Amino acid sequence: MSNLPFNKTALALTAACALALSWFVAAPSRAAEEAFIIPPPAHDVTSADGQKTLVLAGGCFWGVQGVFQHTKGVTQAVSGYSGGLARTANYDTVGRGTTGHAEAVQITYDPKQVSLGKLLQIYFSVVHDPTQLNRQGPDSGTQYRSTVFTSDPAERKMVENYIAQLNAAKVYPKSIATTLEPMQGFYAAEDYHQDYLTLHPNQPYIVFNDLPKVENLKKVFAENYREKPVLVRDVKATN
């Protein structure tokens, strides 16, 4: 994923995709398109009143957003930045890896349709490899870290317990590197990053890195998959 200004996107993404392809050819370990088969949380919240939000970071936000846009019960998934200051929440600055921000996705969901636990299970299974530290696939830097931005103590405790459960079950080749950080602000990314997977399905970066994640959602979580994604532009059009 390019960190260059958007008016150079075509050139930058060509280079990024070449890097992604070489990474897949050379990588001796788990390929990005593989899903982890993991148990659900031992304790979950299955219903509550009103819409809830969850902010997750797991590498390039294009794929994270794309997966959750295809998840039943999610009413909106917005790509953005979290972990840093408002004044540095833009693509060029975040790409330097010095802002404290991670590329993140704010998920708005109906807890009567999909629980927090199920969203976390999808996150740790098909969205990304939570054992990678400050990288996902061909992208590296703290802006690509695996992080759950928690909004209250109960949510943080649930995530902590689930990470401990998964580590104890030894479903991964090494320990989970996901960090928990308090939610201090979420800043929506530039419009050209929204709905990127859906709008650019033939872009090589998306083909190699992100479409397999959506396919894994369909296979591993068939009951939670929906064919038509909920898009940011469609939500905006109805408001």
Active site residue ranges: 60
Q: CA-to-CA distance for 180 and 202, rounded, in angstroms?
A: 34
Cβ-based neighbours of 11, under 8 Å, separated by 6 or more = 4
Q: Which of 114, 128, 135 is nearest to 223 (CA)?
A: 114
- Which residues, including other chains, have CB under 8 Å from residue 62's CB and lie 6 or more apart? 1, 79, 193, 196, 197, 205, 206, 210
- State the Cα–Cα distance between residues 48 and 100, nearest whole angstrom: 32
Which of 63, 62, 65 has its CA nearest to residue 54? 65
Name 188's bridge partners: 80
Contact 74, 224 (CB under 8 A): no
